[in-house]
């Protein structure tokens, strides 16, 4: 899903047909920067690329005339939409239907061109000519002119003192949806795989960040170099996990969508591709730990054994598990 990063830009992964009419879609990280008036895309999140890495493609928002659903134009490309820009059409694939709707609405909203406001006298004169006479006392109403897809559109900005802007547009980026993992190509047994997908992990020694394929099963969480590998780089037994939660040091690390898996020997810092995906991973790992402990220990319990008191605390809905 598109999300707003620390620089107030709208970001997210999409698949794009870079070579027109090739039918080959490549996964890219998109950044919609309304302040700069541009849509750019990279091989990966720039945070995971060497400093100074150039984008692989870009579009000025003023070149975009329309963004629309293209599932009928490209029936073989699932969740496809098209950006009409200059003399070319850019076809892209979203992650799911809601992702498609969010990107289409966001891009169309970003490419609206607002005509500079006229002076009060000019505006009143224009409004008087454009609007029919209204019986009864007149109310002052201000209007704005926007160019959408090359067509001038006049809309009221206030009505009886209230903003008539569509509330659904303001809340579009606040919706939360579960995001499907990008790659499900492994041959692991279906009944044991709880969640899988790519995330970015911090290395233990060099502290560098690398994209890894994660696989959550009933008793462990493993990560691989890619989804094609059979042997994991490391397997983390869930019985060794003390806590999984959103990382409190994300501001210091300058990483969006960062969560941490705390084990006996190490804390794993993992970055998801979106806030929804981050919360999905936290919930999935928390749920797997609760399931592993058994239903008898799915709530705050106290167990006494050999004169030792062991406290176990779970909070599934809030997305964290703590076991001292």
Q: Looking at the domain that runs over 193-322, which CATH code has it been given?
A: 2.30.29.30
CA distances from 67 to 89, 118, 123, 211, 219 (A): 10, 29, 31, 31, 45
Residue ranges of domains in the chain: 3-111, 114-167, 193-322
Examine domains 3-111 and 193-322 and report if their fold is the same.
yes
* Separation between Cα atoms, residue 19 and residue 69, nearest integer Å: 19
Specify the pLDDT at position 221. Answer: 94
CA distances from 220 to 200, 236, 290 (A): 18, 5, 13
Q: Could you confirm whether domain 3-111 is CATH 2.30.29.30?
A: yes
Specify the pLDDT at position 63. Answer: 87
What does the block give as tokens for 179? Answer: 């995001």
- Judge if pTM exceeds 0.75: no
What does the block give as tokens for 235? Answer: 């397997």
Enumerate residues 6+ apart whose C-beta is below 8 A from 55: 40, 41, 42
User: pLDDT 10s digit of each residue in the chain, 324 long?
Assistant: 789 888 889 999 999 998 888 889 999 999 999 888 999 999 999 988 998 899 999 999 988 888 999 988 898 889 999 999 878 899 999 999 999 999 999 999 888 754 444 455 555 555 555 445 444 454 555 666 665 555 556 666 654 444 444 444 444 333 333 333 434 444 444 458 999 999 999 888 878 888 899 999 999 999 999 999 989 999 999 999 999 999 987 777 778 889 999 998 999 999 998 899 999 999 999 999 988 876 545 433 333 333 333 333 444 444 445 444
Q: How large is the C-alpha radius of gyration of the chain?
A: 25
**Helix, strand or coil, per DSSP, at residue 68:** strand
């Amino acid at each position: 899903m598109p999300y707003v990063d620390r620089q107030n830009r709208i970001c997210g992964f999409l698949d794009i047909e870079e070579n027109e009419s090739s039918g080959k879609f490549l996964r890219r990280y998109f950044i919609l920067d309304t302040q700069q008036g541009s849509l750019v895309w990279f091989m990966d999140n720039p945070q995971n690329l060497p400093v100074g890495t150039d984008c692989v493609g870009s579009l000025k928002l003023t070149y975009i005339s329309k963004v629309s659903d293209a599932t009928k134009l490209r029936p073989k490309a699932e969740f496809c939409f098209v950006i009409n820009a200059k003399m070319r059409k850019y076809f892209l694939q979203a992650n799911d239907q809601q992702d498609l709707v969010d990107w289409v609405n966001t891009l169309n909203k970003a490419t609206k061109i607002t005509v500079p406001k006229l002076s009060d006298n000019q505006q009143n004169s224009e409004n008087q000519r454009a609007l029919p006479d209204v019986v009864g006392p007149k109310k002052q109403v201000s209007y704005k002119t926007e160019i959408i897809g090359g067509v001038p559109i006049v809309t009221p900005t206030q009505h009886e003192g209230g903003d008539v802007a569509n509330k659904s547009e303001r809340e579009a980026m606040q919706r939360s949806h579960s995001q499907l993992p990008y790659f499900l190509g492994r041959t692991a047994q279906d009944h044991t795989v709880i969640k899988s997908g790519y995330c970015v992990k911090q290395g233990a020694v060099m502290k560098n960040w690398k994209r890894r394929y994660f696989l959550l099963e009933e008793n462990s969480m493993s990560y691989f170099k890619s989804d094609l590998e059979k042997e994991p780089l490391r397997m983390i037994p869930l019985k060794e996990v003390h806590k999984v939660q959103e990382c409190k040091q994300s501001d210091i690390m300058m990483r969006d969508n960062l969560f941490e898996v705390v084990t006996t020997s190490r804390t794993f810092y993992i970055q998801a591709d979106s806030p929804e995906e981050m919360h999905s991973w936290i919930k999935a790992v928390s749920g797997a730990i609760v399931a592993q402990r058994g239903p008898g220990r799915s709530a705050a319990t106290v167990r006494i054994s050999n004169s030792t008191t062991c406290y176990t605390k779970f909070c599934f809905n809030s997305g964290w598990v703590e076991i001292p």
